[in-house]
């Protein structure tokens, strides 16, 4: 209990000590990883896979939304608790594993919480006159801001959807959105080391 109380106290003072303004956007990369050792140790109990979900506030270096899932499954079915841990004025940055139309619909309605989510290249896209896109088909459609960019070195196309506006206080350019995702990839690579 002593360590928990210390953790809570340190967490309360983190923003004050780092002098982080309320108007700064905190990038919050979100990812999951399979814990191989635990999976090997728990297979006799019927757990084939143990997956750890986590986010990291890059302004404060504070982890958040840490969750362990026992069993197999795609990230798009799990990880909601981790995504909900995106800090206020934060940008949850996620890879394709978290992409689903239902998740995008839910993320779009969050107030003061933003997202950048890479979607699969096989999502059906329709560009609208206002520059927004409709993704999906039939009744499963969502209107989004879409940012495309290409990594010329790896010849990889990236399609990112976001609820960050282009103008205003939280406004970010397409280049900013692409940079957020590039930073996400670097951060996730460092986690895996």
Task: Tell me the pTM.
Answer: 0.83
Q: Tell me, yes or no, whether 23 lies in a domain.
A: no
Range of the domain at 153: 28-192
Q: Tell me, yes or no, whether 21 lies in a domain.
A: no
Q: Tell me, yes or no, whether 128 lies in a domain.
A: yes
- Tell me 49's DSSP state: -
- 62-70 sheet: strands from edge to edge: 62-70, 50-57, 26-34, 90-94, 113-119, 156-162, 140-151, 133-137, 125-127
Q: According to the model, what pLDDT value does residue 193 have?
A: 45
Instruction: Please report, rounded to a whole number, the percentage of residues in the chain having pLDDT higher than 70.
Output: 81
Q: Tell me, yes or no, whether 83 lies in a domain.
A: yes
Q: Tell me, yes or no, whether 11 lies in a domain.
A: no
Segments in 23-93 forming alpha helices (H): 36-41, 80-84
- How many beta carbons lie within 10 A of that of residue 160, not counting itself? 24
Q: Tell me, yes or no, whether 15 lies in a domain.
A: no
Min mean pLDDT across 40-54, 73-87, 94-108, 145-159 is at 40-54
Per-residue pLDDT, averaged over 129-141, amounts to 92
Q: What total number of domains does the chain contain?
A: 1
Contact 28, 58 (CB under 8 A): yes
- How many beta carbons lie within 10 A of that of residue 18, not counting itself? 11
* 142, two tokens: 């969502």
Per-residue pLDDT, averaged over 102-116, amounts to 92
CATH number assigned to the domain comprising residue 65: 3.90.350.10
Q: Mean pLDDT across the chain, nearest whole number?
A: 85
Q: Tell me, yes or no, whether 19 lies in a domain.
A: no
């Amino acid at each position: 209990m002593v360590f928990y109380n210390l953790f809570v106290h340190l967490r309360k003072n983190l923003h004050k000590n780092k002098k982080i303004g309320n108007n700064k956007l905190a990038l919050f990369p979100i990812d999951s990883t399979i814990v191989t050792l635990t999976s090997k140790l728990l297979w006799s109990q019927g757990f084939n896979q143990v997956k750890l979900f986590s986010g990291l506030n890059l302004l404060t270096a504070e982890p958040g939304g840490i969750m362990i899932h026992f069993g197999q499954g795609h990230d798009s079915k799990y990880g909601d608790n981790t995504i909900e841990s995106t800090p206020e004025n934060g940008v949850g940055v996620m890879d394709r594993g978290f992409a689903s139309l239902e998740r995008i619909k839910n993320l779009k309605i969050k107030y003061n919480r933003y997202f950048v989510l890479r979607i699969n290249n096989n999502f059906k896209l329709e560009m609208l006159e206002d520059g927004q896109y409709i993704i999906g088909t039939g009744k499963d459609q969502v209107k989004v801001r879409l940012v495309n960019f290409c990594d010329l070195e790896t010849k990889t196309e990236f399609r990112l959807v976001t609820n960050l506006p282009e103008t205003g206080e939280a406004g970010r350019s397409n280049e900013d959105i692409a940079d957020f995702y590039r930073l996400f990839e670097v951060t996730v690579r460092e986690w895996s080391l």
